[in-house]
Structure 1
Amino acid sequence: MKTYNYSGLSKADIAKLVQRNVDPANEIRAIVEEVIASVQQNGDAALFDYAAKFDKVSLDKLYLDKSELEILASTVSDAQKAALDIAYQNIYKFHKAQLKSEDKIETMPGVTCWRELRPIEKVGLYIPGGTAVLPSTFLMLGIP
């Protein structure tokens, strides 16, 4: 990891560091949109293709059976499982608090506005791999 002394940096250096993770040309967005469109059009076949392209793996199926899940779960330490469970409970509690009743507001005579909550049937979650795959990203995106 590189460290920088802020007081020793020029304005140009600071500007470059601040913008280093920006996607100004929307290259990442374009790739994600392409992936979503391909999966919508080609279904599971697209998932197999993208697993090979991005993860460099050749899958023979997309789902794990119960015994495979149990084997994988046994490789996670009790401390890690406890941390994930605490994170799950906290995220769930936070999201549940957002499900308040629909408050109707009459903004002017005869005009009523409200927020309507509707469940989403299907979602695609983008979990960046990069240098640090974070289970918390999956939890925050996937927990209703």
Structure 2
Amino acid sequence: MAENKTKPTERDPADFIAAVEPEWKREDAETVCAMMKRLSGEKPKMWGGSIVGFGQYHYKYASGREGDSLLTGFSPRKSALTLYVMGGFESRPDLMERLGKYKTGKSCLYVKRLSDIDMEVLEELIVADIDYMRATYDTT
């Protein structure tokens, strides 16, 4: 069975964020890092080379595949700030409608700049997702 490629590493998230360019993207990353730390109650940890994650959960699919992944996190990518909303967006249309300018993938929220979205709504979304993940999966 294939192993997850994205795993926790020993790299310091603060060093990773400090190297983000340009400055406005680094400031957005610092803001999201502080917010996710506060909302999750978890310390940031690097997952792979470019994802800052908070907490983790264990999943097991009907196929038998299982593994661990980050509970929530983000990555300041070149094209957009990617926020990982592991439980998805389908059950939160009210929040998504009020969020602002963004795009989504399966569990990814893509934001060009934090100034494009409503930060209070983003916090509601992250809290709802963390609560869902903790109620649904083993997060110990």
Scaled by the length of structure 1, the TM-score of the pair is: 0.24
- Name the structure, 1 or 2, with higher relative contact order (CA <8 Å, separation 6+): 2
The structure with the larger Rg is 1
Scaled by the length of structure 2, the TM-score of the pair is: 0.24
Higher strand share: 2
